Amino acid sequence: MSVVKVGPPWSRAVFDGAARAVKFRFRSVGRFEDVKQLRLREYINPFEEEQLLNSHPEVQKAPRSAELWLDLKDGRGIHVGSAVQAGLLLMDASSAAALMGVPIVSERTHFDPTPA
C-alpha cells in the first residue's frame, strides 16, 4: 500500500509513500523524513475516564472524538485530521504510521461536559 487516506474527502490527510510526503486538504504539510511521530489526541470527560478504569464495557464502546497530529523533528505539531470515533482514526493512523515507519503516541485530553 503506497497511499493512506485519513478522513473525509473535504478534510483529508493523504500519506503518499511514492512521494514520501503528507498532504492535508490538498496542500503539502511535511515530508516523511521530517516526521518524528504521529500523535492521537482523544477527548474524554473525567467521568468517562473513571468508568474506563472500572472496566465498564458500555463506556469503552462509546464514541469519543479525536484528532491526529504530526509531530515534526523541529518541534512543531501539525493537525492533520479529526474524527468522531477515536478507534476509527487510530486504525487509519496505524496504517499511515506503518507506511512512514514512525510510532503512534496516544494521549487523552479532559474536557468539562457541563455547559458554562
26: in domain: no
Using only the alpha carbons of the chain, give its radius of gyration: 15
The whole domain housing 73 covers 33-110
> Quick one: DSSP state of residue 103?
-
Per residue in 4-29, pLDDT (tens digit) is 999 888 889 999 999 999 999 989 99
pLDDT at site 109: 83
In whole angstroms, give the CA distance from residue 90 to residue 29.
20
- Confirm whether 17 is domain-assigned: no
Q: Considering the domain boundaries, does residue 84 fall inside one? A: yes
Query: For the chain, how are helix, strand and coil distributed in percent, rounded to 5?
Result: 30, 40, 30
- The whole-model pTM stands at 0.81
What would the pLDDT profile of 72-94 be if each residue is shown by its tens digit?
A: 999 999 999 888 888 888 888 99
Number of domains in the chain: 1
Identify whether 49 is part of a domain.
yes
Residue 16 included in any domain = no
Q: Does any domain span residue 115?
A: no
Any domain includes 15: no
Report yes or no on 57 lying in a domain: yes
